[in-house]
Amino acid sequence: MFYREAGDYKTSYQDDGQTFPIKFDRYRYYFVLFVAFAMVPFLINDYWVSAIFLPFLIYSIAAIGLNILVGYCGQVSLGTGGFMAVGAYACYKFMTGLDIWIDGVQYALPPINIFFSVILAGVVTAIVGVLFGLPSLRIKGFYLAVATLAAQFFLVWLFNKWSWAYNYSASGQISAPEREIFGVAITGPSTEAWATYLFCLVITTICAVVARNLTRGASGRKWMAIRDMDIAAEIIGVNPLKAKLSAFAVSSFYIGIAGALFFAVYLGAVEVGEAFGIQKSFIVLFMVIIGGLGSIFGSFAGAAFLVLLPVLLKLMLADSTDEISGFASVMGWIFLAGFAASVVMLLINIVRTRSLIAGSGIYWIFASLATFMAYALSIGGMGWPTDIVAHLQLVIVGALIIIFLIAEPHGLAQLWRVAKEKLRLWPFPH
Amino acid sequence: MKTKLATMAVAAVMAAGPVMADLVFPSLSYRTGPYAAGGIPFADGYADYFTLLNERDGGIGGVMTKVPECETGYNTEKGVECYEATKGEGALVYQPLSTGITYQLIPKVTADGIPLHTMGYGRTSAANGKVFSNVFNYPANYWNGASVAINHILDTNGGDIKGKKVALVYHNSAYGKEPIRTLEELSAKHGYELTLLAVDHPGQEQKSQWLQIRRERPDYVIMYGWGVMNQVAIQEAANIRFPMENFIGIWWSGAEHDVTPAGDAANGYKSVTFHAVGDDFPIFDDIKTHVVDKGLAAGAGDQVGTVVYNRGMYAAMLAAEAARKAQEIHGTAQITAAMMRDGMEALEITEERMTELGMPNFGPSFAVSCENHGGPGLGAITQWDASAKEWSMISDFVESDMDVILPLITEDSEAFAAENGIEMRCN
């Protein structure tokens, strides 16, 4: 009814080619931007920023970067952690003053503004990414994955070994000194929640808009042509060298920026093996898979999912509180009753249909999950042992990845697309 | 009628009284992941001691204690999340049991005014209280540990180790790299040759390092390992038949779970420690009656008396004593994090006090001061007896080489102060 093209007249080519051709989508997009820029900064505190918003924004940039490479250009990469490390260490060198030794004489640049340090870190990572992308001209698929895996291990080893990269500190840790933009501290210990949030938000927004337009334009089409069939792409005139290397460059640029922000703004101090190990490569890849290959929205959805899920599980299961208000406990009982009812209905359904998901089984599964979540949150957490919750979290994330790979290989973005398609026709079924 | 209602209301308010908030000691623990073997007993010991105080004494100075636990998995991102999640609850002191998380928290706690106690780990130069106002690492730090190990080698060789070969097998992280500078300085002083062998996180793969040891035949191996790395190293050392009495671990590489997988082959393995081992102390009877028998033990309750459990309990004892000191200084039972910091800085642990607490000779007696946040830096050597399955102390608490360590601490902390524009305190 609201969500449709009809009646939204386009009178110019610019209008016709815009990112969100549907009016409702466009206003929703402005609304999200408005909330993110004008409302959230006034509402957040340290916990919200460092547990949810900063990791979400930074992982989103990394996921967009990897999505350009894997989702749009079809080149598998397991080197994300290593490239993030390049970004982090490059940013550190730029923000503390890059020093070069020639014949025993030290030449040092003055420290560069944090914003430009982050951008330059992206540029350095893009160059490194192109270098490690060269094998992609010869090899594909698993073999390329192994080559990028080598990049991951090599880069981590390098930043452990090369003491110039961490300014010869005894521990090999790099720590972000305090840096400001317009007199507002962005890095260092005494930052305000809103300042770091806005800094990352601005960079994320620019990155996402640029990525969206790159993938809609000629270069994106070339990447997708290479992804779908590289020989055919070459025949129709796509230069594989340029297309593949540009995908590596752009992707690494994004990942480098993510690494720089991850170090400088979010954590403040990192150690390469711990922060940028192989797990980081995997988690960003999972974000891309769960979110949806070849979708900018999917990158955000995947990042949000994997950042929020552990926090949500922790709040639901591990936390506990002694004082529960009367209202909360009443709500808790209501949700508990709802949970019990959904489980009973699910069991009846199983007995009747001899299947877990046949009939309305799926709905009862969702209903029981939702009521359990509501119950756990309203009573302030179940208070289970922290190790059980941590293990459960691994189980749930693993199960979700398998479920997504089987049931919806295109991830959350495809669910979103299907939902929009249904909305467009609503209230008519066809 | 009206007055009656009013008096009733007043009486109700009076009865409710001022709500006594608990003293909060967050435990950033890790019971999962490759470092859980050490994380579990420490967290259990830390929690059990505060449970004991609550059950036996009714808390500290009449205020109950609370130990909210937050799982970090030895992961810095989760460590930050845990810190932000718990600091609002009135956290008095943080003990993350991870050098990586410590580096992250040092600037944050200083900005938030919460003390950080990194006992035997963390940033060694935090011992300089002139620079690090809110960070404490008493009673001993990594550099003391390295020096105590070298002193032990000196003792066994009659004071002369010129030309001997010493290999350092270390966790390739800030933690493992900490002792390198000290060992290099000591090598210049005593004339031994130092070989550095890094083991990458998590440390299950050490074949090449031990092959190198087999080839180069160092006289002594010192290990800075943690978690699964320790068991693997001790097993590998047994495989190449390296004499165990010449293999010395730091205190994080010397617990029951590190040596038992290698069985009898681990017999004679040595480790540095800064507190006593074993469960032969009166406090364990109290823990049994007040905590374990009541079913209040943290975790599975099967760690009581193990080396790392004792360390967690010792950490909790030092925190509780500092809180008591803070209550004494500020004359209030309801202390804040800032008061806790003052208590830690004025902390004095005497032999009488430890005996009173049921922990005679459990650790060295020491006093913290504004300049010295690192304590005396004493360490002892323990040795594993595989047939009796127990650790035993084979030396007293001995001094480390402060002539070498103090200049290093001053240098490193002053570099940190210059980098971050920190003004020296305690003038």
SS3 of B224-251:
ECCCHHHHHHHHHHHHCCCCHHHEEECH
In this prediction, residue B14 carries a pLDDT of 43
Q: Which of A167, A274, A308 to mutate to test the interface with B (most CBs of B within 10 A)?
A: A274
In this prediction, residue B19 carries a pLDDT of 53
> Residue type for B284, please?
F
Q: If contacts are CB pairs under 8 Å, which of residues 152-181 in chain B contact chain A?
A: 172-174, 177-178, 180-181
In sequence order, what DSSP letters do the residues of A363-416 get, joined into one string? HHHHHHHHHHHHHHHHTT-----HHHHHHHHHHHHHHHHHHHHHH-TTHHHHHH
| Burial status of residue A288 (CB atoms within 10 A of its CB: 0-12, 13-18, 19 or more) | buried
Please write the tens of the pLDDT for every residue from A211-246: 999 999 999 999 999 999 989 999 999 999 999 999
Please write the tens of the pLDDT for every residue from A15-56: 888 888 888 888 889 999 999 999 999 988 888 888 899 999
Q: Does A271 touch chain B (CB under 8 A)?
A: yes
In this prediction, residue B134 carries a pLDDT of 92
Structure tokens, B340: 């806790």
Say whether pLDDT at A200 is over 90: yes
Lowest mean pLDDT segment, chosen from A128-132, A320-324, B211-215, B416-420: A320-324
Q: What is the pLDDT averaged over residues B123-144?
A: 90
Closest CA to B156 of B245, B238, B223: B245
Q: Does A111 touch chain B (CB under 8 A)?
A: no
Query: In chain B, which residues have their Cβ closer than 8 Å to the Cβ of A171?
Result: 99, 103, 123, 174, 177-178
Q: What is the pLDDT averaged over residues B157-182?
A: 90
A24 or B310, which is more confident = B310
**Residue B103, SS3?**
helix
C-alpha B67/C-alpha A22 separation (Å) is: 53
Structure tokens, A26: 């466009």
Q: What is the pLDDT averaged over residues B125-140?
A: 90
| Burial status of residue B132 (CB atoms within 10 A of its CB: 0-12, 13-18, 19 or more) | buried
C-alpha B202/C-alpha B173 separation (Å) is: 10
Say whether pLDDT at B10 is over 70: no
**What is the C-alpha R_g of chain A?**
24
Closest CA to A229 of A217, A243, A216: A243
In this prediction, residue A236 carries a pLDDT of 93
Q: Does A188 touch chain B (CB under 8 A)?
A: yes
Q: What is the pLDDT averaged over residues A373-399?
A: 85
In this prediction, residue A355 carries a pLDDT of 78
Of B71, B108, B198, the CB nearest to A189: B108
Query: In chain B, which residues have their Cβ closer than 8 Å to the Cβ of A153?
Result: none
Query: In chain B, which residues have their Cβ closer than 8 Å to the Cβ of A277?
Result: 201
A161 to chain B nearest CA, in Å? 10
Please write the tens of the pLDDT for every residue from A82-113: 999 999 999 999 998 888 888 778 888 888 89
A101 to chain B nearest CA, in Å? 21
Say whether pLDDT at A69 is over 90: yes
Please write the tens of the pLDDT for every residue from B200-249: 888 888 999 999 999 999 999 999 999 899 999 999 999 999 999 999 99
Q: What is the pLDDT averaged over residues B412-423?
A: 85
Q: What is the pLDDT averaged over residues B288-311?
A: 90
Say whether pLDDT at A60 is over 90: yes
Output the CA torsion sign for B159, B160, B164, B165. Answer: positive
Say whether pLDDT at A357 is over 80: no
A81 to chain B nearest CA, in Å? 14
Query: In chain A, which residues have their Cβ closer than 8 Å to the Cβ of B173?
Result: 172, 271, 273-274
Lowest mean pLDDT segment, chosen from A67-76, A420-429, B203-212, B232-241: A420-429
Output the CA torsion sign for B274, B278, B280, B284. Answer: positive
Of B84, B103, B106, the CB nearest to A47: B84
Please write the tens of the pLDDT for every residue from B267-293: 999 999 999 998 889 999 999 999 999
Kind and range of the H or E element at B178? Answer: helix B174-190
Mean pLDDT of chain A: 88
Q: Which of A96, A271, A278, A388 to mutate to test the interface with B (most CBs of B within 10 A)?
A: A271
In this prediction, residue A1 carries a pLDDT of 63
pLDDT category, B13, cuts 50, 70, 90? very low
C-alpha A203/C-alpha A115 separation (Å) is: 9
- For residue B181, what is the nearest residue in chain A, using CA coordinates? A170
CA-angle at A422, arms to A417 and A426, nearest 5°: 150
Q: What is the pLDDT averaged over residues B41-59?
A: 93
Kind and range of the H or E element at A222? Answer: helix A218-228
Say whether pLDDT at B48 is over 80: yes
Say whether pLDDT at A267 is over 70: yes
CB contact under 8 A, A55 and B77: yes
pLDDT category, B11, cuts 50, 70, 90? very low
Q: Does A313 touch chain B (CB under 8 A)?
A: no
Instruction: Choose the most confident range, by mean pLDDT, from A30-44, A386-400, B410-424.
Output: A30-44
Q: Which of B172, B226, B411, B420 to mutate to test the interface with A (most CBs of A within 10 A)?
A: B172
Of B77, B88, B174, the CB nearest to A171: B174
In this prediction, residue B193 carries a pLDDT of 93
Structure tokens, A154: 């090599």
Instruction: Name, in order, each residue with C-beta under 8 angstroms of A347's C-beta and a sequence gap of 6 or more.
Output: none
Say whether pLDDT at B167 is over 80: yes
CB contact under 8 A, B69 and A177: no
Structure tokens, B50: 């505060």
| Burial status of residue B212 (CB atoms within 10 A of its CB: 0-12, 13-18, 19 or more) | middle
In this prediction, residue B20 carries a pLDDT of 61
Of B69, B84, B106, the CB nearest to A50: B84
CB contact under 8 A, B85 and A47: yes
In this prediction, residue A50 carries a pLDDT of 87
Q: If contacts are CB pairs under 8 Å, which of residues 396-425 in chain B contact chain A?
A: 412, 419-421
Closest CA to B98 of B128, B124, B72: B72
Going by the DSSP 8-state scheme, the letter that residue B195 receives in this structure is E
In this prediction, residue A430 carries a pLDDT of 66
In the block, residue with structure tokens 């030449």: A107
Q: What is the pLDDT averaged over residues B390-417?
A: 89
Lowest mean pLDDT segment, chosen from A426-430, B207-211, B299-303: A426-430
Q: Does A152 touch chain B (CB under 8 A)?
A: no
